[in-house]
């Protein structure tokens, strides 16, 4: 059974390694994949987007563990969510909001079966004491219903979705800056296809602040040196890039900034 780990712990401290040690101590046969440990600290929305982009690339039955948890030690609940193909373990802070928005979740359990936890449970490290052991026992075949009772009132964050304007244009926003400075937007390839309505991508005009981009590049290498371009990225979202540079720096743009798509007359 595969268990993925998505945390904001970084790799300088031993937190990730300790979580793995707990999992292996309960299920030595588990396979653990480090999805990412470098989203900005406490950034629940960033972690939610990373999980949204990643989970489908794993085999059925994979257990995805998300520990980006600024509310650790408070009354926020640990959750086990199930879909048709996957399991998700996460704090009840909205980090699974993209899954909830897509109506893919079939059930959510508030994890209360404390006999599956490490003792004592630290007020600052639920990744080690709750999420890691529950993931390990789940990977050994313990059914989800053994960990607690189903709930309906989990936390949902507002997921940024593209909006069609009265004049027919499409408005989205930057949802992430990757390490290359690319601006990843809330607009997906299917949204662009609907806007184009069969027209060529050359008829597309993209506005980022005062900057305008016409058409889509097929690859990063097609971009003009120092100039912004647009591309459909590997996860199916519209990205603004600068060839061998940073679009975030070149355009002075960041998360939450408006992106507008129009058709050239």
Burial class (CB within 10 angstroms; exposed 0-12, middle 13-18, buried 19+) of 78: buried
Q: Which of 85, 115, 150 is the last residue of a domain?
A: 150
Residues 190 and 115 in one domain: no
Residues 174 and 52 in one domain: no
Residues 70 and 27 in one domain: yes
Residue 156 lies in a domain: no
The pTM (predicted TM-score) of the whole model is 0.93
Residue 155 lies in a domain: no
Instruction: Name 165's bridge partners.
Output: none
Q: Which of 150, 173, 203 is the last residue of a domain?
A: 150
Residues 131 and 227 in one domain: no
Residue 19 lies in a domain: yes
How many Cα atoms are found within 13 Å in the side-chain-facing hemisphere of 70? 10
Residue 16 lies in a domain: yes
User: Residue 245 to residues 144, 178, 184, 185, 240: CA-CA distances in angstroms?
Assistant: 46, 12, 15, 18, 11
Q: What is the pLDDT of residue 215?
A: 93
Q: Which of 150, 183, 218 is the last residue of a domain?
A: 150
Q: What is the pLDDT of residue 224?
A: 85
Q: What is the pLDDT of residue 103?
A: 85
Residues 74 and 119 in one domain: yes
- Residue pair 242/226 in contact by the 8 Å Cβ criterion: yes
- Domain limits for position 33: 2-150
Residue 158 lies in a domain: no
How far apart CA 206 and CA 214 sit, in angstroms, is 6
Residues 53 and 141 in one domain: yes
Q: How many residues does the chain have?
A: 265
Residues 236 and 140 in one domain: no
CATH of the domain at 6: 3.40.50.10790
- Residue pair 187/170 in contact by the 8 Å Cβ criterion: yes
CATH of the domain at 255: 2.40.30.90
Residues 187 and 142 in one domain: no
Count of structural domains, the chain:
2
Residues 90 and 46 in one domain: yes
Residues 169 and 258 in one domain: yes
Residues 194 and 233 in one domain: yes
Residue 20 lies in a domain: yes
Residue 38 lies in a domain: yes
Instruction: List the chain residues with pLDDT less than 50.
Output: none
Residues 111 and 173 in one domain: no
């Amino acid at each position: 059974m595969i268990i993925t780990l998505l945390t904001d712990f970084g790799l300088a401290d031993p937190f990730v390694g300790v979580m793995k040690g707990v999992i292996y101590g309960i299920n030595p046969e588990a396979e653990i994949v480090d999805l990412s440990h470098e989203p900005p600290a406490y950034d629940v929305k960033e972690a939610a987007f990373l999980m949204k982009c990643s989970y489908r690339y794993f085999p059925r039955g994979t257990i995805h563990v998300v520990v980006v948890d600024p509310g650790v030690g408070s009354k926020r609940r640990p959750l086990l969510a199930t879909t048709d193909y996957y399991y998700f373990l996460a704090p009840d802070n909205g980090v699974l909001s993209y899954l909830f928005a897509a109506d893919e979740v079939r059930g959510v359990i508030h994890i209360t079966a404390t006999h599956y936890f490490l003792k004592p449970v630290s007020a600052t490290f639920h990744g080690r004491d709750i999420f890691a052991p529950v993931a390990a026992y789940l990977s050994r075949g313990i059914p989800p219903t053994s960990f607690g009772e189903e709930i309906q009132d989990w936390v949902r964050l507002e997921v940024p979705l593209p909006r069609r304007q009265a004049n027919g244009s499409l408005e989205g926003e930057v949802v992430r800056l990757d390490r290359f400075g690319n601006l990843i937007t809330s607009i997906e390839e299917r949204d662009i296809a609907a806007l184009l309505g069969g027209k060529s991508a050359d008829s597309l005009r993209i506005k980022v602040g005062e900057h305008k981009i016409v058409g889509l590049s097929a690859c990063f290498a097609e971009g003009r040196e120092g100039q912004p371009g647009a591309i459909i990225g590997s996860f199916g979202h519209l990205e603004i890039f600068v060839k061998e540079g940073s679009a975030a720096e070149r355009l002075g743009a960041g998360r939450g900034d408006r992106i507008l798509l129009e058709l050239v007359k």
